[in-house]
Amino acid sequence: MGTERDGGAGGLAGRARAGLVREIAGTGVWDRDAGWRDAFEQVPRHLFVPYYFVGAPGGHERLWGEDPDPARRERWLRGAYADQPLATRLRDGELVSSSSQPSLMAKMLADLDVRDGHRVLEIGAGTGYNAALLAHRLGDAAVTTVDLDPEITESARAHLAAAGYRPAVVTRDGARGCVERAPYDRIMATCALRAVPVGWLAQCRPGARILAPVATGLLRLDVRDGGFAQGRFLRTPAYFVAVRGEGGLPGGGGVGSVGGVPRRVAGDEVFRFLLELTGGLGGAREVLALWEREGRPGRERFGVTVSGGREWVWLDDPRGPCVWDLPGGG
């Protein structure tokens, strides 16, 4: 278990964290597994975001815990425990790392369905906060977190140590996993992927689970063996910073134009999910025709199969008529 060091923040940090926990608990996400509530109660998020950026006229404003202005320090601390994502690293004005929205993290961890003794690989170290939650629940030795950027892994390692956690933090292209610490019972990506790297399957134990953001959805795959995995998207939308390296989204992700589609549809969040999931097929109008013909299906009706190095998407049934290759898969 980690040891909190509030660094003078003291009671306000504790009260702010308790408020965040109550807010997340109110969603019912921990009804099946109260163990995660304890992790969120004990792991101090503010130690993982010593500074972050918020939108401001003309750019971004930096809030940090060592600000000489007490009012700004309090604003930083309260923001650290707000149920919202926090931009933690910018490069040339572009977001390259963040701390995810806590309620989404709580849902993902619950859907990961861990058990005592499980070993977990996290793709995308970020601030280290999610790895700390995993380490609190499963123990340091059971958790490996990887990131391509050495600056990110260095800061994540420092944040984890400050909070009293020491999981393995590895600088690595996440698309390649971390074979030297395999096998894993669970793989969890906290960055947007084009597709699930097929090489991850060989690093999983039979019966393992992979949870990864793909095309603004959360894909939950159950692994049969090193050559086969299958599962569905959850209903929950998920927007993450794109992974860099071999599994990265070209041009920062997204599908670009949706020309020829009515504005009310082009702005529909689930339609845009399908547009990205299909790679546009023959164009936005063809995707719209599919969506309308099938009754405007939600995310949960779509699934993915990984087999023999190939990766394909299906609607309702992996053997049904609506099947296509996942863009970027294989």
pLDDT tens-place string over residues 68-89: 999 999 999 999 999 999 998 8
In a domain, residue 113? The reply is: yes
List, in order, residues 6 or more apart from 286 with CB less than 8 Å away.
280
The pLDDT of residue 275:
86
Which residues are 315's β-sheet partners?
Answer: 302
Q: Which of 97, 99, 100, 155 is catalytic?
A: 97
In a domain, residue 5? The reply is: no
| Statement to judge: residues 262 and 232 lie in one domain | no
In a domain, residue 29? The reply is: yes
| Statement to judge: residues 88 and 15 lie in one domain | yes
Which of 190, 205, 237 is a domain's end point?
A: 237
Q: Are 124 and 174 in contact (CB under 8 A)?
A: yes
CA neighbor of 191 nearest in space, from 239, 133, 228, 159: 239
Low-confidence ranges of the chain (pLDDT < 50): 1-9, 247-257
List, in order, residues 6 or more apart from 53 with CB less than 8 Å away.
60, 61, 62, 63, 86, 87, 88, 90
| Statement to judge: residues 203 and 272 lie in one domain | no
| Statement to judge: residues 227 and 106 lie in one domain | yes
In a domain, residue 108? The reply is: yes
| Statement to judge: residues 18 and 125 lie in one domain | yes
CA distance 187 to 204: 8
In a domain, residue 2? The reply is: no
In a domain, residue 319? The reply is: no
Q: Which residue range forms the structural domain that includes residue 274?
A: 255-297
| Statement to judge: residues 207 and 127 lie in one domain | yes
The pLDDT of residue 243:
63
Q: In what order do the strands lie in the sheet with 323-325?
A: 168-171, 143-147, 120-123, 184-189, 204-214, 217-225, 228-237, 302-307, 310-315, 323-325
| Statement to judge: residues 111 and 47 lie in one domain | yes
The pLDDT of residue 6:
47
The pLDDT of residue 5:
44
Coil, helix or strand at residue 264: helix
For residue 54, give both structure tokens: 């918020």
CA neighbor of 205 nearest in space, from 124, 132, 115, 330: 115
Sign of torsion over alpha carbons 28, 30, 34, 38: negative
Active site residue 103: no
The pLDDT of residue 245:
55
| Statement to judge: residues 139 and 267 lie in one domain | no
- pTM (2 d.p.): 0.89
| Statement to judge: residues 274 and 229 lie in one domain | no
Instruction: Name the E strands within the chain.
Output: 51-56, 59-64, 86-91, 94-99, 120-123, 143-147, 168-171, 184-189, 204-214, 217-225, 228-237, 302-307, 310-315, 323-325
List, in order, residues 6 or more apart from 26 with CB less than 8 Å away.
none
| Statement to judge: residues 184 and 211 lie in one domain | yes
The pLDDT of residue 205:
97
| Statement to judge: residues 267 and 142 lie in one domain | no
Q: Are 309 and 244 in contact (CB under 8 A)?
A: no
Coil, helix or strand at residue 285: helix
The number of folded domains in the chain is: 2
| Statement to judge: residues 117 and 162 lie in one domain | yes
Q: CATH number for the domain including 227?
A: 3.40.50.150
In a domain, residue 150? The reply is: yes
In a domain, residue 245? The reply is: no
